[in-house]
């Protein structure tokens, strides 16, 4: 399934941020995984598909100085900027499709993605995502990513999704990555649907090259 701007614009235009299926007041597991990367407050962190997520709020509260939020839906970004008010000026906001966007090479210390990658059901889309991720990450940079685990439902937001074990996700993102930790977490949507997530924390080796 290709990520389509029209689909996600419709989602964010018809639902409040607290009503979307992936909503959580605070992304505690993501925050814990990011903290365990050991990066400092001057680190460059990108939240891929961040939309109206509150991760940016909590990163700002932790005094992270260089935060980028990337999302395909401008309405989602507008909602986050409105919520943050004057603090929004401290964040770089990028509207775009992660599979088709130019990001600065070797720039980011942490690549965070909660529930974008599992919407990429086509091999070519996944390859483009991975190519962009590897290019944008610094040598030694970190990846904190969450996808649907095998036990999760077959669809999310009306779209098919791909499910992953830690081994499958490692294979998709690149064998040269170091998998530091993984865990499953049951997420219950605002509508009461149970979704099992898989969280993984990877690291790009300092000298490895992705092909």
Kindly state the tokens that stand for 60: 């700002």
pLDDT digits (tens, 9 = 90+) for 99-136: 999 999 999 999 999 989 999 999 999 999 999 999 99
Give the CATH number, domain containing residue 173. 3.40.50.150
> How many CB atoms are located within 10 Å of the residue 178 CB?
14
Query: Number of structural domains, the chain?
Result: 1
Does any domain span residue 11? Answer: yes
Does any domain span residue 208? Answer: no
Does any domain span residue 30? Answer: yes
Does any domain span residue 43? Answer: yes
Does any domain span residue 210? Answer: no
Does any domain span residue 103? Answer: yes
The parent domain of residue 19 ranges over: 5-203
pLDDT at 7 over 70: yes
Cβ 62 vs Cβ 110: under 8 Å: no
For strand 159-160 and strand 155-156, is the pairing parallel, antiparallel, or unpaired? Answer: antiparallel
Mean pLDDT throughout 176-186? 97
- Give pTM, 2 decimals: 0.92
Does any domain span residue 209? Answer: no
> How many CB atoms are located within 10 Å of the residue 83 CB?
14
pLDDT tier at 208 (50, 70, 90 boundaries)?
A: low
pLDDT at 209 over 70: no
Q: Which residues contact 131 (CB under 8 A, 6 or more apart)?
A: 210
């Amino acid at each position: 399934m290709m990520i389509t701007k029209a689909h996600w614009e419709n989602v964010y235009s018809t639902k409040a941020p607290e009503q979307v299926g992936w909503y959580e007041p605070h992304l505690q597991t993501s925050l814990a995984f990011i903290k365990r990367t050991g990066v400092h407050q001057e680190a460059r962190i990108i939240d891929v598909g961040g939309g109206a997520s509150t991760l940016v709020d909590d990163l700002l509260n932790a005094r992270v100085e260089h935060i980028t939020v990337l999302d395909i839906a401008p309405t989602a970004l507008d909602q986050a900027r409105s919520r943050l008010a004057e603090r929004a000026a401290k964040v770089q906001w990028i509207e775009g499709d992660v599979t088709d966007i130019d990001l600065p090479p070797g720039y980011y210390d942490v690549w965070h993605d909660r529930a974008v990658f599992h919407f990429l059901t086509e091999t070519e889309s996944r390859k483009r995502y991975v190519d962009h991720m590897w290019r944008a990450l610094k040598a030694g940079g970190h990846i904190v990513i969450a996808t649907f685990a095998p036990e999760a439902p077959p669809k999310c937001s009306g779209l098919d999704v791909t499910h992953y074990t830690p081994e499958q996700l490692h294979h998709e993102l690149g064998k040269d990555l170091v998998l530091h930790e993984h865990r499953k977490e049951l997420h219950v949507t605002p509508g009461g649907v149970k979704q099992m997530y898989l969280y993984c924390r990877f690291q790009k080796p300092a000298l490895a090259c992705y092909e």
